[in-house]
Structure 1
Amino acid sequence: MGVVASTYIILILAMMLADLSYTTTGHILEALQSKEIQYAIKLSLITCTITMVLSVLVAIPLGYFMARFEFRFKKVIDAVLDIPIVLPPLVIGLSLLILFQTAPGQFIESHVRITYTVYSVIIAQFMVACAFAVRTMYVTFIQINNRQEQVALTLGCNQRQSFFYILLPQAKNGILTAASLAWARALGEFGPILIFSGATRMRTEVLPTTVFLEMSVGNIEAAVAVSLIMILSGFAVLLIVRLFGDKNTAL
């Protein structure tokens, strides 16, 4: 492992250790006892899970379509799918906000209030998280040889049966990875939520906006405590997925 790579790993660990040195168990427990932070944790878990499910439901067919079919403007569509990854998060939030000021957005708003509600939190998370899930499923399907699908088709299976009974079982680790990335990305989303949903206590407050609100009032200890909760949650999810994925691979 090169010096640059080692330095990067050390930097990540150093940041985490710095957070740990700045807070105490008491600060974390005090943060967990706050009604506002309890609400933020609950809302984060709910919205991240919904975002994860929606992202996977979109990523599987879209990733399959991009991996298995050739068509005009495929490279253009491929680039479009990566826009949420490369755009600054604040730009995504602003674009969503403007979208719901247009005629189609206002029509939706006249029936269901979206902006500055929990719905907007899910949409903001989904816009970014889904892009990571789609990219993961695209790579997953690209790496799976379609020979078994072709054999299944020659033996009487239709395209739908081949997809569900042959391809999806082989893609289970990729699906798990896409789901975990979508959940973890949604958990850390801040910019789009701040612009599109606001940071209203006990309404649209999720963990990233809690860090922002606590810092804005000078409560650095609580902000660091919430940051550690997010770090541990994300690390636990990613670690479990990797262990589970390695187990499935071994099988």
Structure 2
Amino acid sequence: MTFTKTSQKFGQWADSRANTVFGLGFPSEQQLSKFAEKFQEVKEAAKLARERSQEKAESCSTHSHESSQEAPTSPQASSVNGTEDEKGRRSPPIESLLKSNNHRINPVKKWEQELRTLGESNARLTAALQESAGTAEHWRNRLQVCKEEGDRLRERIVELEAQSLDISKEREQNSRLSQTVRLLEAEISEKEQELERLREEVRVIPGLLEQCEGLQQQLQSAENSNAELESRSKTLKCNVEESRQKYGNLVKELTTFLGILDGKIDELHGFRQGLAKLGMDN
């Protein structure tokens, strides 16, 4: 098995026998490095133990082969030089030696089978590692795309923050304009009240005009009766003169009042136009 670092805090290895890939995540890159070093040490120790066992198996097989080559010479020599009883006495050790050699050869076969299994496992592990390397490259590319997207989002956040500052400034300006509008509306209400008072005063003017007409009629009747009442003519003339002066003063005051009222109306009209323009600009 081979331990592979797929990222700064994650590693994985494959178990070919179970056809499974295992992965471990670590809180830091140092712990991942320590685990990889220990994993490599254990792997090398297992490899060294396997090589030693293989050497022992080879030595056992070599020893068994040599013993198998030396074993037949003893029966031949005994057959030539010895008797049949000697042959019967020497045969059991040879059989026991062959049995021991067979017992020694069997582990070698097991080790050869284990080596073949390990070779197949290494091939599967290589394929799994190549696949994991491709997966890691895919995720690296994906991470790079995510980083670029994060950078774009950060830039967008900065832009939105700047826009929010502009919006807050505009809100403050709108609040100031709203206060100004409220003050202007209060002034308009005051002007409208004043205008209403002026209108009430204007409504009194027709009564005054009627009174003037009545005075004129009285003046006319007084002039008609002037001939008859010569004794009262001086008094009536004085009264008429005073009435005329009062009428003239009243007409002058009325003219002045109308001029003032026209100016107020024009001022109020201009003020309304300015307020409407200000509302449209806002």
TM-score by length of 2: 0.21
Normalized per residue, which structure has more strand? 2
**Structure of greater relative contact order (alpha carbons < 8 Å, 6+ residues apart):** 1
TM-score by length of 1: 0.23
Q: Between Structure 1 and Structure 2, whose CA radius of gyration is higher?
A: 2
